[in-house]
Amino acid sequence: MEGNRIIGIEIFQHNESPGVGEVAANIIADEIVKHQSIAVDAISGCTKSSNGVISAVKQALEKAEVNIGDYLKKPEKSTTSIRKRIEKKADVVVVGAGGAGLAAAVSAHQNGATVLVLEKAPMVGGNTIISGAAYNAVDPKRQQPQGIEDSIEKHYIQTYEGGDRLAKPDLVRILVEKAYPALEWLESLGMRFKDEIFTVLGALWPRSHTPEKPLGTGYIDTYMDYINKHSDEIEIMLKTKAVELIVENGRVTGVEAENQEGTVLAKANNGVILATGGFSANVQARNYYNKMWPDLTNLKTTNRPEITGDGIWMAEKIGANLIGMEHIQLLPMGDPETGSLSGNIEHSVENRIFVNKQGNRFVDEGARRDVMTKALFEQEDCFMWVIVDKHCYPTGDTKNNFNETIDQLVEEGRAFKADTLEDLAVQIGVDPTNLVKSVEAFNMAVEGKIEDPFGRTLFQHKIDTPPFYAGARVPTVHHTMGGVEINTKAQVLDKNGNVIPGLYAAGEVTGGIHGSNRLGGNAVADTVVFGRIAGESAAKAE
């Protein structure tokens, strides 16, 4: 403070998620300083982070013994009717700064193009940065030391069959064959993965890679390190929402967008890449296309609020073909309050079970995601407990995929801990006899003494070593498999199967790659593989 003026806010300690809540907290701090007010608007999708900073600043002001009322005036929004016309030009214009968009931006630049990225959120990262970050690829170097047998053909079959043979086979083939080369590409950019391979929820096989950094920050940090080093040729415009594709003589030549300053006309010399994600956060759209699930109106989503299908609708408007729009993926792993994946205590498929409110198992926990979620809908209140033991959390400071320690989750009441299964059952309100019997039967299946009652085949450790843990989970909308149709060069196709010149797409904005059900760990690989292809194709104006 200088007198009564706030001149700076420094956040010394926080538990915010890297790249998301952490960024939002700093944005809110800057807004408070700018407007000399704590009555600033929260960042969409980061309300708790925003309110945490506002509350902390209020407490600091009280300690400074100033008049709090002086800092409660709502910042005035600009009422000027004069809006700028902002003209931009680049070889490639990318719409969306999530995993696919940033991969495309880096790839396009590596292939000789200047790049402009438009992002409607106030930060980069999209869904990728808040994802579990698992990356599926056949990787003998890491798999063989663990005794894991795998092949590209197995990955292909599991992906194609796992989507009920409704994906485009040529796109599935590209995904599985290019997944490992794309992983090597990431490593060449500086990204680091752990050596241990595991099976992420719904992956069906142990080929999932974990980045060394938490959540999806490793991917985004890697791309941004490259982009920042080449900022003279790659520009990112935040808080800039694309609203329309510009078409001239049958070719997409640019994008019209809007931001606080005015209208942005982004000219693309070679091509436009759509990487805006799916539509899981668009309740109206998912209800319109949903044919598989009960009403989705009240279900929360794992996605960021910006993921509303913008690129899909823009492409459809100029004649792009949409495929697989009815295929909407739900996960059984949503936080009961927020729908997010945070707070999830599972580490890998092999080492946990699900039980309902009666303490009984009800599904093969290594099955397809749609199979598990359908089974969860049949349980009381569509609610389950994930049960694990010390094998997953050797110490209290062991972290989950979301950078949260198990001790932290227990302290916050988002997980429960006990030295016996009976005590754990009492804490979570399930029948102790049922929970003990469920775990005993599972352990016998792990030992090979009985066949698993639900046909499960993925095992590693028994659940027999205290402390035991439980975490609550519910269904949540996670991924939309439908979107614009593309070919193997990531070119967008029209309703007659013809290429729309100048238009490319990558990531969840596309359809036809995953069929009716996406395998866990295939989405991030999809963003990297096809983001890389889209960038190269657009740079070469193919």
Q: How far, in Å, CA of 542 to CA of 536, rounded?
A: 9
Cα of 400 vs its chain's centroid, Å: 15
- Phi, psi of 76, deg, nearest 5: -75, 135
Closest alpha carbon to 369 in 399, 403, 333: 333
Decide: 276 and 310 in contact? Cβ < 8 Å. yes
CB 155 within 8 A of CB 246: no
Cβ pair 302, 332 in contact under 8 A: no
Rounded distance, CA 341 to CA 477, Å? 11
Give me the DSSP letters along 339-381: -SSTT-----GGG-EEE-TTS---S-TTS-HHHHHHHHHTSGG
Distance CA 115, CA 184 (A): 23
Is residue 173 annotated as a catalytic residue, yes or no? no
- Strand ranges in 140-250 using DSSP code E only, listed in sequence order: 208-209, 234-237, 241-248
**CB contact at 8 A, 106 and 226:** yes
421: Cβ contacts below 8 Å, ≥ 6 apart: 432, 435, 436, 439, 468
- Among the listed residues 46, 129, 125, 186, the one whose alpha carbon sits nearest the alpha carbon of residue 403: 129
User: Which one of the listed residues 369, 456, 473, 518 is annotated catalytic?
Assistant: 369
Cβ proximity of 177 and 193 under 8 Å: no
Please count the residues of the chain.
Answer: 542
Distance between CA atoms of 376 and 378, rounded to whole angstroms? 5
Active site residues: 369
